[in-house]
Amino acid sequence: MSTSHTDLPAFTPAEALSPAKRVLITGAAGQIGYSLIPLVASGAVCGSQTPVDIVLLDIPQALPSLEGIVMEIQDGAYPLVRSIITTDSLEVAFKGTQVALMVGGFPRLAGMDRKDLLTKNAQIFVAAGKALDQYGDRDCKVCVVANPANTNCFIMKDNCPSIPAENFTCLTRLDHNRALWQLASKAKVPVGDVARVTIWGNHSNTMVPDVDQALVRTSAGVVSARSAIKAAMEEGKDSDEAVSTWISGTFVPTVQTRGAEVIRVRQKSSAMSAANAVADHVRNWLSTVPSERVRANDWVSMGIISKGEYGIQPGLVFSYPVQIDTNGKIKVVENLELSEAVKAGLKATEAELASERDMYFTIKAELAAQQ
C-alpha cells in the first residue's frame, strides 16, 4: 500500500495523555542528576503517558553546565518534554512544583562527623522545605535522595507544614533493587521472578534487608526465597543452616555496604543505579499506566513518615514494605511475621534514626539562636 505525503502520521491523541507534571531535580548538574534527567524526559519517572515540564536547580557555578544539559535534552527530542527551566533560585525552582526529586545535598567529606554532615544538610533541607511550603503545588510529591536521606526528608517535612506528610518519601528503592539482584543471582532466576523483598529502616549500614516473606518463581513453581536458595546451592542442599549463613553473612552485609563497594571499585558513587531507583520509586507511585505500578500481590520498599507501624516511633522517616493503590496512596504492608533477628534490626535502625532526628533538633535550636 502506498502512502501519500499528505497523510498525517499516527500522532498520540491528546486525550490519551495524562496532565503534565512540573518536575524539579535539585543538584541537577551532578552525577545522579545527569543520569536521572533522561529518565524523567523519556517517561520512565512519571509514566509513559505523562508530559513533563522539567526544572533543573543547582548552585550558580553549575548553571553553565546545566545549559549544556538543556542542549542535550533538546537534542534528545523527547516527545513528553514540554519545557525546560534552569535556575539557582529556590523560588523559581519550587514554584508550582508537583514532583520534587531532591538529589542535591552536601556530601560527606573526610574528617566529617555525623553532626557536621547533618548541619550542612539541615541548612539545605530547611531552605528547601520552606521554599516548597511557600511556592510548591499543595499536592507536591517528594522523593529525597541526598544522604542522610531519611533525616533530610524529615527535615524537609518539618519545614513544610502545608504539604501532607504522606507526600514525603525518601529513596530506599536502590537498596531494594540491590537486594532483588543478590537474591535472584543466588537463586539462579531472573530478577523479575523475585517478589516481596523488603528494606526496613534507615538508608545506612543499619538498614535491615529482609527475605523472610520473599517469593521466587522457579521451574517447580512459586516457593519461598529460602527454599529457592536451598535448591540452587551447590553445597549444603539439605542444610537450612547454610541458607541462613548465606543470608546473614553474605546477603545482608552486601546490600548494606553496596554503595561503599561501588565507590571503592568505580572511584565514583553509584549514580546510574540510583537514578534508576528514583525512576522505579516515582513511576510506581505516580504512573497512570497499570503496568507501570507495583505488581499485584507484590510490594516495594519506600522511606515514608511512620505512623507507628511495627512499633516504630511515629514521625520518623522509616523504610517499610508498601503497596500503592490506583490513586497513588501509599499503604504499609502490615501484620507480617518478623524473625527475632529482623525485630532486633528494626530497633537498632530506629535508634539511629531517632538519634539523627534529635541531632537535627539540636542543630535547629543552635541555628535559631544565631539569628
Q: Which residues are marked as active site?
A: 203
Residue 213 has a CB neighbour count (10 Å cut-off) of 18
Secondary structure string (H, E, C) spanning 73-119: HHHHCCCCEEEEEEECCHHHHHCCCCEEEECCCCCCCCCCCHHHHHH
Structure-block grid coordinates of residue 137: 503545588
Residue 21: its H or E element: strand 21-26
The SS3 of residue 192 is helix
- Whether omega before 253 lies within 30 degrees of 0, making that bond cis, reads no
Dig out the grid coordinates for 41 from the structure.
524526559
Instruction: Using alpha carbons, list the distances in angstroms from residue 293 to 45, 128, 181, 198, 330.
Output: 11, 28, 20, 17, 12
103 touches 145 (CB < 8 A): yes
Which contacts of 66-73 are long-range, i.e. CB under 8 A and separated by 24 or more positions?
Answer: 66/28, 66/29, 69/28, 69/29, 69/34, 69/37, 73/37, 73/38, 73/41
Q: Which residue has the cell 502545608?
A: 162
- Torsion angle (degrees, nearest 10) of CA 331, 334, 339, 341: 40
Q: H/E element holding 168? A: strand 168-170
Among 90, 173, 87, 96, which Cα is nearest to 140's?
96
Distance CA 324, CA 43 (A): 19
What value, to the nearest 5°, has the Cα angle with vertex 338 and ends 334 and 343?
A: 110
Matching residue, cell 521466587: 216
Residue 18: HSE in the Cβ half-sphere, 13 Å Cα cutoff: 16
